[in-house]
Structure 1
Amino acid sequence: MKRIKKWALLGLLMASALAAQARSLDAVRKDGKIVIATEGQFAPFNFFQGAKLSGFEIELAELVAKKMGVGIEWKALSFDALFAGLGQDRWDLVIASHGITDERAKAVTFADPHYCSGGVIVSLDPAIHRVPDLKGKVIAVQTGSAYLDNIKKLSGVKDVKNFPQDTDARGALINHRVDAWVTDKFVVVAAMAASPNAGLKLGDFLFVERIAAAVAKGNASLAKGYNDGLAAVMADGSYASLSKKYFHEDVRCH
């Protein structure tokens, strides 16, 4: 996914200063576990089934951690707190559908992308499906997301409504409080499958992006260890199987 946090200069400096305390790959392996944070509110990528975290990114991280030779201690919290906690060394890695952007790369070190997708236009009105159709409309997006940043680049949009969770933005559309919702393509496909009578209409892409996990800025050893594990999962067929389980297609970047 695909999400942008506006970092103040002070926050960037603090994150950079604290990154030196981040645990290296050797330290993680010595401990026997990697601490990973996610949101848990972004199906089908990361969500709760009862009290248990599930989803494509959750299962993928578990496969990668196994290749790295470590277990996982999961943390789940609000999306806009994930990178801040990473900079404070509260966890080792974040996987929560973050799109790779230049702004985010100032605050974190991204791993290699684990899928490619993008923000799509969703509406209840089939006449609202292209970017020009958003002129004069009210649009729902999640706070801190890349969707918000890209919507702000458009001219003629009447208003943008921010919601703490993507499901809140979807609810605003379903309840006719907004004209359109912008979110990840695969989130929409899953929502349409789960609620076929909701009337959601999938429109065009607003933008396309590469999605990746992230470690503390400058933590090159952990990023490499994770990347090596991800490459192994992609090479042995387990990534393709997992991707087809959730999306009926291989969603890796090409």
Structure 2
Amino acid sequence: MKRLKHLAIALAAVFACSAPQVMARTLDEIKADGKIILATEGLYPPFNYMQGSKLTGFEVELAEAVVKKMGLKFEWKSLSFDALLAGLRQDRWDLVIASFGITEERSKAVLFTAPHYCSGGVIVSRDGSVKTVGDLSGKVVAAQTGTTYFENVKKVPGIKEVKNYPADTDARAALTSGRVDAWVSDRFVAKTAMEANPAGMKLGDFLFVERVASAVKKGNTSLAGAWDKALAEVMADGTYKALSEKYMKEDVRCK
């Protein structure tokens, strides 16, 4: 079943990327249409995930609140993580919100908005024996393809092997099934997983800290500016705090 599920996700990504192109639009063009096209992964709880047939999560509800402030309607696209920024550059949607950490390399390809939360990659093991960066030496470590977690794990000297997986849930499953010694993921994702399986995982140290933001096509400053303004309003009126505490039990905005 898992193989079929992953095949369906992969096919959905292919079909999404082969669909008729939606040209990158300025803020005025989006306002004229009345609807913004948003893209996310849908496999990354508590930030973006499927609850039955409904897309939900902290980033999903936050994005919808921001769009409401902008006076727009929204349409969601859900597809594989590594296809999101590529599709944005190819003008297939207006904005991506999927826990992308701001990096120098990504900033060359897309325009990031103001960060909507700060977190970082943490080390997770089954019994707590792999806790620090030093503990990763000689170990097999799992991380999701195309993420800052995977890129940062690769930089750690002495690791026996880095195994990359198409979805973060696959990387986590590799840990819980004993196929790897550690899993590196977002702190809040790891906390959520541990709440569901408290006896099966132990949280270790941060591997790195990062700011996380939405992204628009390079040069689309009108849309980025409007998004930042609406996000600031959502952060000021109590909506952000309520959503953050609902999903993470704390305020996760960047200090």
TM-score normalised by the chain length of structure 1:
0.91
Once the two structures are TM-superposed, the CA of residue 127 in structure 1 deviates from its matched residue by 1.8
Aligned-residue Cα RMSD (Å) equals 0.7
Kindly state the Cα deviation for residue 196 of structure 1 after the two structures are TM-superposed.
2.5
Question: SS of the counterpart of 2:30?
Answer: helix
Regions of 4+ moved over 6 Å: none
Alpha-carbon deviations, 1:34-92, whole Å to 9, x = none?
00000000000000001110000000000000000001100000000001110111000
- What secondary structure is seen at the aligned counterpart in 2 of 1:84? helix
148, 151, 154: which one aligns with 1:149: 151
Counterpart CA distance in 2 for 1:247 and 1:110 is 23
Q: Give aligned-pair identity as a percent.
A: 65
Structure 1, unmatched stretches of 5+, are 1-20
Cα distance, 1:160 vs structure 2: 0.3
Amino acid at match of 1:93: L
1:107 aligned to 101, 106, 109, which one?
109
**CA distance in structure 2 between the partners assigned to 1:59 and 1:169 by the alignment:** 25
The count of residues paired between Structure 1 and Structure 2 equals 233
Using the TM superposition, give the Cα deviation of residue 194 of structure 1 relative to its aligned residue in structure 2, in angstroms: 1.6
Question: For residue 86 of structure 2, what is the aligned residue in structure 1?
Answer: 84
- Find the counterpart in structure 1 of residue 163 from structure 2: 161
Relative contact order, CA 8 A, sep 6+: which one is greater? 1
Distance in 1 (alpha carbons) for counterparts of 2:54 and 2:247: 17
- Assess if the C-alpha contact under 8 Å between 2:139 and 2:181 holds in 1: yes
Q: Hey, what does 1:27 align to over in structure 2?
A: 29
- Identify the residue that residue 10 of structure 2 maps to in structure 1: none
Match in the other structure for 1:73 = 75
Query: Given residue 99 of structure 1, which amino acid in structure 2 is its aligned partner?
Result: G
Match of 2:210 in 1: 209
- Structure 2 residues not aligned, in runs of 5+: 1-22
TM (norm. structure 2) is: 0.90
Aligned match of 2:99? 97
| 8 Å CA contact retained: 2:128, 2:201 | no
Q: Distance in 1 between matches of 2:122 and 2:194?
A: 13
Q: Provide the residue aligned with 1:228 in structure 2.
A: 229
1:188-224 per-residue CA deviation (whole Å, 9 max, x = no partner) reads: 1111112223x10000000000000000001000000
